[in-house]
Structure formats: C-alpha cells, structure tokens
C-alpha cells in the first residue's frame, strides 16, 4: 500500500506563497500520476493540478493556472505544489493524490490526509 502525507500548509496573506509537499511511502510512485485537489468548507472537492509520471503532461485548473506549479522529485518520492499569488478563494484543505492512471485521480487510488491553506485578505 501507499501512504501519502501532505505538509506545508498554513496561514498567509493574499499575494503570498506556499509550497505544499506530498511525501509518499510504502511504494515508489515513479510510475504514478500525481495530482492535487482541494476542498473548502461547504463546497465540493475540486481539481487543482495533475501530472503524469514523467511530467510530459501537466494540467491545471483555470483558477490556478499561472499561479500554481506542480512538480515531483521521484528520487525523493515526493510531490510538490508551489502556490504563488495566493487569493482568499484559494483557502481550502489541499489533498494530494496518486494513481496508476491519470484518469484515476480523484476517483480511486491514494490520498493524503490533507493540509489546511488559509489566505487572508
């Protein structure tokens, strides 16, 4: 089995930056698609970003495009989400996910426990 642990969340002012990390253990994710989702209180979970195992394809939600950058370090078995120019509407619990297929992200596979990101106005 795979265990994912997110970290790096916190409280920042609008316009600030955070980098979220997703450390995986139990199995190498070098051949897995990885992604990030978020969920604000009272709202549905939404897609943020995803990438294939090689990074050949990267997809961002329109709401974060140009501000967020997804990356991974397979040697460290860790994924990252760099978040710049944060807005109050980015406030949510952020979850990382991994799956053997990119289509499985958000539907099956592995999830972390989430890390809270709060952006003040």
CA distance 90 to 38: 9
- What are residue 42's DSSP bridge partners? none
First CA to last CA across the chain, in angstroms? Answer: 40
CA distance 109 to 104: 7
Structure token digits, residue 79: 């994924």
Nearest to 121 by CA among 92, 89, 81, 93: 89
pLDDT of res. 97: 96
How do residues 3-41 score in pLDDT, each as one tens digit? 999 999 999 999 999 999 999 998 888 889 999 999 999
């Amino acid at each position: 089995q795979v265990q994912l642990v997110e970290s790096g969340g916190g409280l920042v002012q609008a316009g600030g930056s955070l980098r979220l990390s997703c450390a995986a253990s139990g199995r190498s994710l070098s051949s897995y698609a990885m992604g990030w989702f978020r969920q604000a209180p009272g709202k549905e979970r939404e897609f943020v970003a995803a990438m294939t195992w090689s990074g050949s394809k990267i997809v961002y939600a329109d709401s974060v495009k140009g501000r967020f950058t997804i990356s991974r370090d397979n040697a460290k078995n860790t994924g990252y989400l760099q978040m710049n120019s944060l807005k109050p509407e980015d406030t949510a619990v952020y979850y990382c996910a991994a799956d053997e297929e990119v289509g499985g992200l958000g539907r099956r596979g592995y999830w972390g426990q989430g890390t809270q990101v709060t952006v003040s106005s």
